[in-house]
Structure 1
Amino acid sequence: MISGKPLLLASALSAGMLFTASSEAALEARGNDMYYDTVLNVTWLNQSQAVQSWQEALDWVAGLSHAGISGWRLPTVSPVNGSSFQYAESVDGGTDWSYNISSPASELAHLYYVTLNNSGAYASNGDYIDGKLTNKGPLSNLQADLYWTATEYAPDPANFAWSFLTDLGLQTDALKTGNGYAIAVFNGDVSQVPVPSAIWLFSSALAGLAGLRRREAA
Structure 2
Amino acid sequence: MKQTMKNLATAAALTMAATSAQAALSVPAGNSLVVNSSGMNLAWTRDANLFLTQANSYSGGAAAFVTTVINTSGGTISDLPNSLDTPANSGSYNLSASDFNTSTGNMNFWGAKAWVNYLNSISYAGETDWRLPNVTPVNGSSFNHNVSFNGTTDRGFNVNILNPTASELAYLFSNELGNLSAFNISGVAQAGSGLVNSGPFENFQNGGYWTGTEFQFPTTTTDFQHAWLFSNANGAQGTSPKDDNSRFYAIAVRDGQLATVPVPGSVWLMGSAIAGLMGLNRKRVTTLRMG
Q: Is TM (by shorter chain) over 0.5? A: yes
Residue deviations 1:70-123 (CA, integer Å, cap 9, x gap): 210000100011121111111111100010122201000111111111111111
Give the SS at the match of 2:124.
coil
* Structure 2, unpaired ranges of 5+: 50-104, 263-291
Greater Cα radius of gyration, structure 1 or 2:
2
Give RMSD over aligned pairs. Answer: 2.9
Counterpart of 2:133? Answer: 75
Give the SS at the match of 1:82.
coil
Residue deviations 1:46-91 (CA, integer Å, cap 9, x gap): 1233233110000001110322222100001000111211111111
Instruction: Give the alignment partner of residue 92 of structure 1, picking from 150, 169, 176.
Output: 150
Q: What percentage of aligned pairs have identical amino acids?
A: 35
- How far did 1:8 drift? 11
Superposition TM-score, scaled by structure 2 size: 0.59
Matched, 1:148 2:216: no
C-alpha separation in 1, matches of 2:40 and 2:110: 25
C-alpha separation in 2, matches of 1:92 and 1:84: 17
Instruction: Give the alignment partner of residue 235 of structure 2, picking from 166, 169, 172.
Output: 169
C-alpha separation in 2, matches of 1:170 and 1:16: 27
Instruction: Give the alignment partner of residue 28 of structure 1, picking from 26, 30, 51.
Output: 26
Counterpart of 2:177? Answer: 116
Amino acid at match of 1:152: E
Matched, 1:105 2:105: no
Amino acid at match of 1:129: Q
Counterpart of 2:253? Answer: 185
Kindly indicate which of the two structures has a greater share of residues assigned to strand: 1
Q: Moved runs in structure 1, 4+ residues, more than 4 A?
A: 7-21
* Structure 1, unpaired ranges of 5+: 1-6, 196-218
- How far did 1:128 drift? 1.8
Superposition TM-score, scaled by structure 1 size: 0.77
Residue deviations 1:159-215 (CA, integer Å, cap 9, x gap): 21001111010000111111310001011012189x9xxxxxxxxxxxxxxxxxxxx
C-alpha separation in 2, matches of 1:85 and 1:22: 31
Number of corresponding residues? 192
- How far did 1:21 drift? 4.4
Counterpart of 1:207? Answer: none
C-alpha separation in 2, matches of 1:112 and 1:104: 12
